[in-house]
């Protein structure tokens, strides 16, 4: 038994009409190509089982032209499509059109009759099969009245006489606008003797006896109708969640409120109760109600903004849609299906007639609609790369549509563009971008079809004066004159490429982006974005993504504008970056395409075509101390973004493409995601509006300001800071920029974002616009102390001992072994990115490599001295002088190898003062001791597969210290605790009682503790001593001396009495003084100097420090080994005295706080050790999987953490 197939019919509209009494008929005989045709009849010709031959054929009838189109709506194989002649009998009955039901998806066969004048008609069709292989069939007519079906028509006879033919008679009504559809569907059959449907001929006769055609009214319905709906959204109306989705609009045409409680919407005729309106829903008199057909599961059918959501989405290709009343009755329906829909074009009623609307009007009265949609044109060739000329045909499925096309990038309209002759193809013989559209009076055009055909060999010959392009790019005030146009592919490069590196090879090495737009919008001096790059103008364009391997790309319309800051200025840069924005205004609201295969995100609101600016050859002016074209690589910014992602942090994606604009090649670009609210929402969750974004570190919001008000120097403050900041992300972000010697940073060129609405509220930092990196050692030291932008956050955090430890741990994790910033990983990442454009850079060289010599303004080429000294501190020379131009072999490869072989190794070579570890140690951001080294069976192995029983050895690379380790994943060090060696005794605590004096004159030396002294007139108190006129030191002092010192004195005396017991002095081996100080000090124990810093000579009562101790270092306890003075301690009363000094009396802050610690041999437990920490003593057998964490502890200082995971085989 053959399964019954569902009917698919064109939707039908109701419309008033004017009657014309044509005394005429249309008689059509179906016959194989070549005939014969029954006398007095017109023939419809096609070839048997030849799908292409079943075309639309036209006939003169009823005073006009009527077209007949057979359509097999389920698109079966062509064997189903019959045009047969089975006997030599009457021409009318011997041949027929039909369907072979034995073929899958064979029926229904639909006859579309278009062009009928408005009015009523009698239909008679003839059905006869001399081989008697037909059975029962159903006929469904869709006309101006609606849908009607007749079932069980029988053709079971084999008599060749005309009288014996089965006839099917009906009346049809045309509205004069839409086709009439007759669908013939074979009923399910049991055997092949009932497998065919056949039709020999039909007759259409005008209903002459009627003055007017019959007006068939439907049943009486409610005043509420489905007034408008959108089944394919590109943007536009947003629901309460901020999402664009399908929607259905109801209209109440009555003068009373209608309660919709118990009413339903459905898109399934078999499930009328599919979605119910919530109780209490009403629609006002003459009012509108919009229901979002999102298909989303929302609580109580209402989103957070109170907007209704149906449980189904609408089908763009057409489906049933109905409004059902509480009794189950159909109030209003689109049956059996509304017609196919186009994106952002709605469908509904205008004056009772279904039609299309553009733009849609949800929630208000519909405007005049369009009776139909003109199909989008189709080009016979897809966009891509070509070598041989070809003929291009432009096709459109809409009858009576006129086609226009353009070749200059502009959009064709009904009045603009070349008129296409369907009989004459367009000859495409060179790089051409074709834009076409079809138009029909009063109908809505579906839009413009755009295809770029690139002849790569011709691109290499692109000349300095391409036809239709201006010779200049307008006047610029900074330039002080005219900006010269630049189009040419440099013949010197084109002719001198190496084998495998031709311009052709280069152009096919990476994908292509082709932009087509109105030429004036791009390049005219009056309104062009490229000729006015400092404007903020947006222009409409088409963008195509074309892959050289023929893989499916895309074409969409969107907005384009020039992107960037200084790179917009012609004085600085001849080649400009562009931004593409998808908003729904011209095309889709989001681009949906897997642009970056490694990313899980495939939807984008904005993309940047980055020109390269300071890392490119298109520079016009520069500062050679900062950057210059000689060492341009085009990949530094992407290297930074990829590095951050390899460090385990979120980061934007990018790739490389060639750009064409209106058929002209514009060079190599880095296609990159733009960081914006939707970027964070799509990747990290929440809604775009949930995110607070500090763009370029210049747009701080309330949460950022709240974060910056936190003082993280104390454990409580650091914990509070972590409510606002992902500290691991921030540490990695800062480390990466220090590592790469980032120049134009940290004051800007970065993003931070936090979601406190639906996320964890913590800021995370993102790489942006980092082109000036990996080109000058020594920047890291200057950037570490910078307090602007991201640096302001860092200066706060480095006051936290816990953050400094975390930062050190991240340094070791990433910069050593197989870390993301290890030498091998950094080199590999750079080498991979360079390999990506190894060929493509040749085309860029031809296009932009000679900019410096072709622009009459800006810098002249600068050469390093000496020319041959290309290393990590010297950039490559410019080649091909005196008429310099940059090439892959003589410029780009030289710098590529310089970065990989010289610059990156120098970052890791601690023999250099500017090696990263040395710089960080100098800034007290990395411990002076190194972590332990792991060996397995005597060989270095930092994690990976091992065999059970292998021995793990830990080696201490330092001269002294103890290794502590764990095997359970715990840190050997307890966060927030200060290490205490066995037997450590605090003799003087920081919060000890003390006496303080700001001297006004010389009081001698007795106060230092060597002899009795009366300090009863001094200030008494507890804790640290200092003052702060800004912020930073408040947590470290309790005795404020601002009124006594600021603007008066640079010196302050402290006397701290303490008692040493016999027990504390027993077995004493080490004595340590730990001090926080701003700026210098001299310390005395019982009258004898034991330590000093930032002061030389003999201290006087008004002495000042010899230098400045930075704020970030001042708040850290600095250890001074005073063990050689152990003998000064005495059992009983002692005095620790300190002469603290500021750098000047007008210094804005001051701090002194000290702790004296005695250390004896012993085995007391150290509170800084975790419970599972083990002191390493001998090789450890690995009998299973192990996650090893280890540190070295030496004299109260922890090393960074070494962590490795071993997997037992």
The string of DSSP codes covering 214-227 is: ---------SEEEE
Q: Report the distance separating Cα 137 and Cα 152, nearest Å.
A: 5
Residue 244 per-residue DSSP state? B
pLDDT value at residue 156: 60
pLDDT, tens digit, 9 for 90 and up, residues 1112-1156? 789 888 889 898 899 999 999 999 999 999 999 999 999 999 999
Residue 871 per-residue DSSP state? B
Distances 539 to 294, 472, 542 between C-alpha atoms, Å:
31, 20, 10
pLDDT value at residue 725: 98
pLDDT value at residue 211: 36
pLDDT value at residue 16: 31
- 609 touches 580 (CB < 8 A): yes
159 phi/psi in degrees, rounded to 5:
-75, 130
Mean pLDDT (the chain, rounded):
90
Strand-strand pairing, 288-293 and 282-283: unpaired
Number of C-beta neighbours around residue 327 at 10 A? 6
303 pLDDT higher than 80: no
- The yes or no reply on domain 984-1160 and CATH 2.40.30.20 is no
Mean pLDDT of 56-60: 91
**Domain extents for the chain?**
25-206, 224-371, 376-454, 459-671, 686-919, 934-977+1167-1208, 984-1160
934-977+1167-1208 to CATH, choices 1.10.238, 2.60.40, 1.10.3470, 1.10.1660: 2.60.40
pLDDT confidence band for 297 (50 / 70 / 90):
low
H/E segment holding residue 428: strand 426-428
779 phi/psi in degrees, rounded to 5:
-70, -30
Closest by alpha carbon to 779, among 824, 746, 823?
Answer: 746
Q: Report the distance separating Cα 55 and Cα 67, nearest Å.
A: 10
Closest by alpha carbon to 931, among 900, 899, 911, 958?
Answer: 958
995 pLDDT higher than 60: yes
Torsion of CA 1003, 1005, 1010, 1014, to 10 degrees: 0
Mean pLDDT of 745-773: 97
pLDDT confidence band for 219 (50 / 70 / 90):
very low
Number of C-beta neighbours around residue 215 at 10 A? 12
HEC per residue, 265-316: EECCCCCCCCEECCCCCEECCCCEEEEEEECCCCHHHECCCCCEECCCECCC
455 pLDDT higher than 80: yes
For residue 811, what are the contacts with CB-CB under 8 A and spacing of at least 6?
735, 916, 917, 920, 925, 926, 1200
118 pLDDT higher than 70: yes
- 199 touches 126 (CB < 8 A): yes
Angle at 912 between CA 907 and CA 917, to 5 degrees: 55
What are the residues facing 559 on neighbouring strands?
A: 540, 581
- 1191 touches 1202 (CB < 8 A): yes
1035 pLDDT higher than 90: no
Torsion of CA 392, 397, 403, 406, to 10 degrees: -50
pLDDT, tens digit, 9 for 90 and up, residues 245-279? 899 999 999 989 999 999 999 999 999 999 999 99
Closest by alpha carbon to 1201, among 647, 805, 649?
Answer: 805
Chain-centroid distance of CA 1058 in Å reads 63
pLDDT value at residue 728: 98
DSSP 72-135: ETT---GGGEEEEE--SS-HHHHEEEEEETTSTT---EEEEEE-PPSEEEEEEEEE--TT--B-
Chain-centroid distance of CA 1053 in Å reads 60
376-454 to CATH, choices 2.60.40, 1.10.150, 2.40.30, 1.10.3210: 2.60.40
Chain-centroid distance of CA 107 in Å reads 45
Return the minimum-mean-pLDDT range out of 295-299, 746-750, 924-928, 1054-1058: 295-299
pLDDT confidence band for 89 (50 / 70 / 90):
low
CATH code for the domain defined by 224-371: 2.60.40.1260
For residue 1098, what are the contacts with CB-CB under 8 A and spacing of at least 6?
none
pLDDT value at residue 22: 40
pLDDT value at residue 589: 86
pLDDT value at residue 1144: 94
Q: Report the distance separating Cα 334 and Cα 348, nearest Å.
A: 9
Mean pLDDT of 1001-1030: 94
For residue 235, what are the contacts with CB-CB under 8 A and spacing of at least 6?
244, 344, 583, 584, 585, 588, 589
pLDDT, tens digit, 9 for 90 and up, residues 228-251? 999 988 767 777 777 778 999 999
Q: What percent of the chain has pLDDT over 90?
A: 70
3-state secondary structure (DSSP) of residue 458: helix
pLDDT value at residue 2: 37
- 185 touches 168 (CB < 8 A): no
What are the residues facing 250 on neighbouring strands?
A: 226, 289
pLDDT confidence band for 315 (50 / 70 / 90):
very high
Sign of CA pseudo-dihedral 241, 246, 247, 248: negative
Sign of CA pseudo-dihedral 329, 331, 335, 340: negative
Mean pLDDT of 300-327: 88
For residue 306, what are the contacts with CB-CB under 8 A and spacing of at least 6?
240
514 phi/psi in degrees, rounded to 5:
-115, 120
Q: Helix count (H) and strand count (E) of the chain?
A: 22, 73
3-state secondary structure (DSSP) of residue 1108: coil
737 pLDDT higher than 50: yes
Q: Report the distance separating Cα 708 and Cα 730, nearest Å.
A: 14
Tokens at 191, concatenated: 């055997």
766 pLDDT higher than 70: yes
Tokens at 1074, concatenated: 């730990």
pLDDT value at residue 856: 93
CATH code for the domain defined by 25-206: 2.60.120.260
DSSP 1123-1169: GGGGGG--SEEEEEEEEEE-S-TT-SEEEEEEEEEEEES--PPPTTB
Quick check: do 376-454 and 934-977+1167-1208 share a fold?
yes
DSSP 31-51: EETT----TT-EEEEE-TT-G
pLDDT, tens digit, 9 for 90 and up, residues 957-977? 999 999 999 998 899 999 876
Q: What is the largest CA-CA distance in the chain?
A: 144
Number of C-beta neighbours around residue 679 at 10 A? 23
pLDDT value at residue 638: 99
pLDDT value at residue 13: 31
Q: Report the distance separating Cα 987 and Cα 776, nearest Å.
A: 48
Number of C-beta neighbours around residue 969 at 10 A? 12
213 pLDDT higher than 80: no
For tokens 């053959």, the residue is 2
Q: Report the distance separating Cα 415 and Cα 406, nearest Å.
A: 12
Mean pLDDT of 585-605: 92
Mean pLDDT of 98-126: 86
Mean pLDDT of 677-700: 94
For residue 654, what are the contacts with CB-CB under 8 A and spacing of at least 6?
596, 610, 637, 638, 641, 670, 671, 672, 673
pLDDT value at residue 14: 30
- 630 touches 690 (CB < 8 A): no
For residue 368, what are the contacts with CB-CB under 8 A and spacing of at least 6?
350
pTM as predicted: 0.70
3-state secondary structure (DSSP) of residue 1206: strand
DSSP 961-982: -EEEEESBS--SBPTT-----T
Closest by alpha carbon to 44, among 79, 108, 92?
Answer: 92
DSSP 606-621: EEEEE--GGGSTTBSS
10 pLDDT higher than 70: no
Mean pLDDT of 1171-1199: 92
For residue 102, what are the contacts with CB-CB under 8 A and spacing of at least 6?
2, 192, 195
Q: Report the distance separating Cα 569 and Cα 577, nearest Å.
A: 11
424 pLDDT higher than 80: yes
H/E segment holding residue 811: helix 801-815
pLDDT value at residue 226: 97
DSSP 636-649: HHHHHHHHHHHTT-
């Amino acid at each position: 038994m053959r399964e019954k197939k569902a009917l698919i019919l064109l939707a039908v509209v109701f419309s008033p009409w004017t009657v014309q009494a044509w005394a005429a008929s249309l008689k059509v005989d179906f016959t194989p190509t070549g005939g014969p045709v029954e006398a007095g009849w017109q023939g419809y010709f096609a070839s048997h089982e030849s799908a292409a031959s079943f075309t639309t054929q036209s006939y003169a009838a009823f005073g006009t032209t009527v077209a007949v189109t057979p359509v097999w709506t389920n698109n079966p194989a062509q064997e189903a499509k019959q045009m047969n002649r089975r006997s030599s009998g009457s021409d009318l009955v011997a041949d027929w059109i039909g369907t072979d039901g034995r073929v899958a998806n064979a029926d229904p066969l639909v006859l579309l009759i278009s062009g009928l004048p408005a009015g009523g008609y009698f239909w008679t069709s003839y059905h006869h099969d001399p081989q008697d292989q037909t059975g029962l069939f159903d006929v469904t007519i869709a006309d101006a009245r609606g849908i009607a079906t007749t079932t069980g028509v029988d053709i079971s006879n084999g008599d060749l006489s005309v009288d014996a033919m089965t006839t099917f008679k009906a009346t049809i009504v045309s509205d004069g606008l839409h086709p009439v559809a007759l669908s013939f569907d074979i009923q399910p059959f049991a055997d092949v003797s009932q497998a065919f449907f056949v039709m020999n001929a039909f007759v259409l006769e005008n209903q002459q006896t009627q003055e007017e055609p019959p007006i068939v009214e439907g049943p009486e319905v409610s005043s509420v109708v489905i007034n408008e709906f959108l089944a394919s959204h590109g943007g536009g109306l947003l629901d309460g969640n901020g999402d664009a989705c399908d929607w259905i609009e109801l209209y109440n045409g009555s003068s009373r409120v209608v309660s919709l409680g118990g009413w339903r919407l459905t898109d399934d005729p078999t499930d009328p109760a599919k979605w119910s309106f919530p109780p209490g829903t009403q629609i006002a008199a003459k009012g509108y109600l919009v229901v979002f057909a999102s298909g989303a599961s929302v609580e109580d059918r209402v989103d957070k903004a109170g907007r209704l959501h149906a449980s189904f989405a609408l089908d763009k290709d057409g489906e049933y849609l109905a409004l059902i009343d509480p009794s189950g009755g159909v109030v209003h329906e689109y049956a059996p299906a509304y017609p196919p829909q186009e994106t952002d074009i709605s469908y509904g009623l205008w004056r009772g007639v279904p039609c299309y609307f553009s733009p849609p009007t949800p929630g208000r009265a519909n405007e005049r609609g369009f009776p139909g949609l003109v199909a989008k044109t189709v080009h016979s060739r897809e966009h891509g790369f070509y070598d041989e000329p070809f003929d291009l045909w432009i096709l459109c499925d809409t009858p009576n549509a006129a086609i226009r096309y353009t070749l200059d990038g502009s959009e064709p309209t009904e009045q603009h563009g070349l008129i296409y002759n369907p009989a004459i193809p367009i000859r495409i013989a060179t790089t051409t971008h074709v834009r076409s559209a079809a138009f029909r009076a009063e109908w809505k055009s579906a839009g413009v079809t755009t295809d770029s055909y690139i002849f790569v060999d011709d691109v290499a010959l692109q000349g300095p004066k391409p036809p239709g392009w201006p010779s200049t790019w307008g006047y610029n005030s900074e330039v002080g004159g005219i900006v010269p146009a630049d189009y040419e592919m440099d013949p010197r490069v084109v002719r001198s490429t190496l084998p495998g590196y031709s311009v052709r090879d280069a152009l096919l090495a990476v994908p292509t982006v082709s932009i087509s737009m109105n030429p004036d919008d791009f390049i005219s001096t009056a309104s062009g974005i490229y000729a006015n790059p400092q404007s903020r103008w947006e222009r409409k364009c088409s963008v195509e993504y074309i892959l050289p391997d023929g893989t499916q790309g895309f074409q969409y319309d969107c907005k384009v504008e020039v992107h960037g800051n200084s790179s917009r200025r012609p004085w600085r840069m001849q080649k400009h970056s562009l931004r593409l924005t998808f908003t729904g205004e011209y095309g889709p609201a989001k681009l949906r395409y897997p642009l970056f295969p490694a990313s899980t995100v495939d939807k984008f609101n904005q993309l940047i075509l980055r020109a390269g600016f300071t890392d490119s050859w298109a520079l016009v002016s520069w500062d050679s101390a900062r950057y210059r074209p000689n060492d341009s690589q085009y990949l530094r910014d992407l290297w930074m973004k990829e590095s951050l992602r390899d460090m385990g942090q979120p980061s934007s994606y990018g790739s490389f493409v060639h750009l064409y604009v209106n058929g002209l090649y514009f060079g190599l670009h880095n296609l990159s995601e733009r960081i914006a609210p939707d970027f964070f929402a799509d990747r990290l969750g929440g809604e775009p509006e949930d995110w607070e974004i500090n763009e370029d570190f210049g747009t701080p919001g309330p949460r950022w300001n709240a974060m910056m008000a936190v003082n993280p120097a104390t454990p409580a403050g650091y914990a509070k800071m972590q409510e606002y900041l992902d500290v691991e992300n921030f540490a990695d972000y800062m480390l990466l920029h220090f590592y790469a010697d980032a120049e134009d940073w940290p004051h800007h060129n970065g993003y931070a974002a936090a979601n406190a609405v639906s996320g964890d509220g913590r800021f995370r930092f993102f790489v942006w616009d980092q082109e000036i990196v990996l080109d000058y050692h020594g920047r890291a030291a200057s950037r570490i102390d910078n307090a602007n932008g991201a640096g302001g956050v860092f200066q706060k955090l480095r006051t936290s001992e816990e953050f400094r430890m975390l930062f050190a741990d991240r340094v070791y994790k990433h910069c050593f072994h197989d870390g993301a910033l290890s030498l091998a990983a950094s080199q590999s990442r750079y080498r991979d990115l360079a390999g990506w454009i190894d060929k493509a850079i040749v085309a860029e060289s031809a296009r932009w490599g000679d900019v410096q010599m072709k622009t009459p303004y800006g810098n002249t080429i600068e050469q390093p001295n000496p020319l041959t000294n290309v290393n990590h501190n010297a950039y490559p020379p410019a080649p091909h002088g005196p008429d310099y131009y940059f090439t892959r072999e003589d410029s780009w490869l030289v710098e590529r190898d310089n970065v990989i072989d010289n610059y990156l190794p120098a970052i890791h070579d601690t023999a250099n003062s500017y090696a990263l570890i040395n710089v960080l140690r100098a800034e007290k951001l990395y411990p002076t001791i190194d972590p332990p080294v792991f060996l397995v069976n005597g060989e270095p192995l930092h994690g990976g597969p091992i065999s059970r029983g292998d021995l793990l050895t830990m080696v201490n690379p330092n001269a002294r210290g103890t290794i502590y380790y764990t095997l359970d994943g715990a840190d050997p060090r307890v966060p927030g605790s200060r290490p205490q060696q066995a037997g450590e005794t605090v003799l003087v605590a920081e919060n000890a009682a003390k006496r303080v004096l700001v001297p006004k004159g010389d009081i001698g030396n007795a106060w230092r503790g060597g002899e009795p002294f009366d300090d009863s007139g001094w200030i008494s108190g507890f804790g640290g001593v200092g003052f702060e006129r800004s912020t930073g030191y408040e947590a470290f002092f309790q005795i404020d001396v601002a009124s006594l010192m600021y603007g008066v004195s640079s010196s302050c005396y402290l006397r701290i009495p303490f008692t040493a017991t016999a027990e504390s002095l027993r077995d004493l081996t080490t004595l340590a003084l730990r001090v926080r100080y701003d700026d210098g000090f001299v310390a005395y124990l019982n009258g004898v100097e034991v330590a000093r810093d930032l002061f030389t000579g003999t201290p006087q009562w008004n002495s000042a420090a010899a230098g400045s101790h930075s704020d970030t270092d001042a708040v850290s306890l600095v250890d001074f080994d005073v063990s050689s003075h152990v003998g000064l301690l005495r059992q009983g009363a002692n005095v620790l005295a300190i002469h603290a000094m500021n750098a000047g009396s007008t210094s804005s802050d001051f701090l002194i706080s000290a702790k004296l610690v005695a250390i004896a041999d012993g085995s007391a437990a150290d509170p800084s050790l975790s419970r599972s920490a083990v002191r390493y003593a001998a090789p450890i057998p690995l009998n299973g999987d192990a996650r090893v964490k280890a540190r070295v502890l030496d004299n109260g200082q922890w090393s960074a953490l070494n962590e490795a995971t071993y997997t037992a085989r």
